Amino acid sequence: MAVEGSAPGKVILFGEHSVVYRGPAIVLAIDRRARVVAEERSDDRIYIDALNLGFSGYFVGDAYHPEQGEAWRGKRLAALNVAARRTMERLGVESGLNLKVRSRIPIAVGLGSSAAISVATVAAIGALLGGNLSKDEICALAYEGEKVIHGTPSGADNNISTYGGILRYERGVGFERFEVERIPPFVIGNSRRKRSTKMMVGNVRALRERNPVTVDGIIDAMGRLSQEGLAALLGSDLPLLGDLMNINHGLLAALGVSSPELDLMVHASRRAGALGAKLTGAGGGGCIIALAETPRLKQVESAIRRARGTPLRVNVSYEGVKTRSVG
């Protein structure tokens, strides 16, 4: 018997970086999903086949044994191993597992691939081993895995991958979910440059230590933009939403987290008729997100391609984590 779990990736619409200090971030689940097929093994290995990402190998306990790809992959895969083991502990079951990972979410560019894979893994194992895990439980178990890689992540990524939809996250306040009836597709522009969230967050922290008043002023402005941006999204005021995205991009650039690749995609999108465009995620590499009226979407995609990015049209997805039996 095998069970497939799947969960959506995400894109940050507003609040990257500022959310580290204060104010909300607005995060959207996207209709690109990670899929993980789980089946039992007779030994105690947790075998991970992520061959479409270029690697496979297995864990015995915490030790990773690569078969394909580099040994350092084990560090990232440790999230899966930990999430899988915590899930089995929760269910009171011990088993070896085959986990086949097939994700359509580009990795390491801020689209939540890692959390989506963890959430899908927990859900698949839960269903495979007969547990009746609630979404809250899936979310919490996936978070255990995320912590192994990211220290103390906000939890926004595993939350959005579990529940889908639109999420408002604020430190010390928590999560709030929203639905919007009509929301156009967004175009993501992927620079295909991996970035380190940790390094970018560190750079902003250093800039803030050198210029506390100025940088705090910018962070406050970004928090207000997040809140106004959510209202514009809920009210389907697309021109306002576009303005706010454009302004937010500049403020992120003021914090030093943009890059030539991102700026070029942002300018190209706007010139092709996008109502707004901004970098999304930690910056330094990764992606931009552009908003355009439907008749303009193709032009925006072409413009991103000419600016050497890879366009990806996404819709907000209200479909959170799911499982299905795959024989």
Chain contacts with a second copy (rule: CB under 8 A): 207, 210-211, 213-215, 217-218, 220-221, 224-225, 228, 239-240, 243-244, 246-256, 258-260, 263-264, 267-268
45 versus 224: smaller Cβ distance to a second copy: 224
Enumerate the active-site residues: 157
Shortest separation between residue 195's beta carbon and a second copy, angstroms: 15
Nearer to a second copy, 104 or 267 (CB): 267
What is the phi/psi pair of residue 121, to 5°? -65, -50
Number of H helices, E strands in the chain: 10, 13
Do 48 and 77 touch, CB atoms closer than 8 A? yes
Nearest to 203 by CA among 160, 255, 251, 252: 255
Pick between residue 54 and residue 212 the one whose CB is nearest to a second copy.
212
Nearer of residues 31 and 263 to a second copy, judged by Cβ: 263
Q: Where are the alpha helices (DSSP H) in the chain?
A: 18-21, 73-91, 113-128, 135-150, 156-163, 197-210, 212-234, 238-254, 260-271, 297-306
Among 116, 111, 139, smallest CA distance to 126 is for 139
- Min separation Cβ 216 and a second copy, Å: 10
Tell me the two tokens of residue 194. Answer: 């991996």
Q: Which is nearer to a second copy, 128 or 225 (CB)?
A: 225
The conformation of residue 170, written as its DSSP 8-state character, comes to E
Least CB distance to a second copy at residue 26 (A):
16
Q: Which residues contact 304 (CB under 8 A, 6 or more apart)?
A: 187, 189, 265, 268, 269, 288, 290, 310, 311
Residue 184 CB, nearest approach to a second copy (Å) = 20
Please state the closest distance from residue 130 (CB atom) to a second copy, in A: 53
